[in-house]
Amino acid sequence: MESCSFLKQLEFLKLLKGTLVVVSFSYTLLSKQKILLKVKTPLLCWYPKTPGIWTKEQVEAWKPIVDAVHAKGGIFFCQIWHAGRVSNEGLQPNKQSPISCTNKPLTPKVQGQFSTPRKLTTKEVPSVVNDFKLAAQNAIEAGFDGVEIDGANGYLIDQFMKDQVNDRKDHYGGSLENRCRFALEIVEAVVKEIGANRVGFRISPFANYMESGDSNPEALGIYMAESLSKSGILYCHAVEPRMITIGEKKESPHSLLPIRKAFNGTFIVVGGYDKEDGNKVVMKDYADLVAYGRLFLANPDLPRRFELNAPLNKYNRETFYISDPVVGYTDYPFLEDSM
């Protein structure tokens, strides 16, 4: 599949006026002085023109982009993911079926037609674990500071963890421990390859993205937090319970606090935060860091706007998933450009 235009992304990096860059559609993390930028790269394609990191050519193409971020003092993590059943045959090698922990298909969606997945055999699972390890290795070779393993949003790792998707009868299905085995084997492999201090993990236990819900999300979140703590990884990045579905913030009786208490490292929260909410949860020790996605996408100088209490650009949801490398991604104005 054709990848995103790295040259156009590099042009945008050269226009940086602060400490932030947004490359493709990524979640960016704001702390006191440092910016941690993440870019999402799949192990196999889901969207056309999605940037990847599974070939030597892709690794080389990332290097000038990573160098440009580092030149501005940024910390750059590569989020590695596998879509699993959230795909179709047209985006797979040799038009084969997408893989998952199940044969259950997704309901057809407006954004794309999903093919019926093929359930991985027990013997095939280690090869997918190895794919994540190789992606992490490639990310470090490209110069990234680390990787975030995406175990959220209904993609392959999340599919394994959630009991409303995982119907396996082997040691990757059934009990909570078995359903989390795949995720933790990936963490173990990646940590062994690049070091625990270069690894983060993203989780959305309460979400039902892509029809991936769970009957006991708090137990899932706590178990994963405790297990991730044992691995010694750098951070856990958790999606708020109010973000049950993509783009919709709803009232929820649940909280990430039990999961936060179960994790020993840096705890990052994301999901519908503004400046005031973000400051509040950090002050209350509910989280160490707050991630902003849509606001950062639309405001490439978001830290400065927060500092000045300046008005924010409104994001355009209709351009979130289009394949143009500029429109909706790098064309939002900086503060001085909009005045």
* Residue carrying structure tokens 């192990």: 43
* Residue carrying structure tokens 């795909």: 87
Handedness of CA 219, 280, 288, 242 (dihedral sign): positive
Given 155, 209, 273, 292, the catalytic residue = 155
Q: Do the beta carbons of residue 10 and residue 24 sit within 8 Å?
A: no
Per DSSP, the residues of 260-322 read HHH--SEEEEESS--HHHHHHHHHTTS-SEEEESHHHHH-TTHHHHHHHTPPPPPP-GGGTT-
Q: Do the beta carbons of residue 165 and residue 194 sit within 8 Å?
A: no
Do β-strands 28-30 and 35-42 pair in parallel, antiparallel, or remain unpaired?
antiparallel
E strand residue ranges, the chain: 28-30, 35-42, 75-81, 99-100, 118-119, 146-151, 199-203, 235-239, 266-270, 289-292
Q: Do the beta carbons of residue 168 and residue 100 sit within 8 Å?
A: no
Token readout for 198 is: 């270069």
Q: Is 199 left (phi over 0), alpha (psi -120 to 50) or beta?
A: beta
172 has catalytic annotation = no
Q: Do the beta carbons of residue 295 and residue 310 sit within 8 Å?
A: no
The angle at the Cα of 96, spanning 95 to 100, to the nearest 5 degrees, equals 135
Distance CA 82, CA 142 (A): 19
Active-site residue list: 155
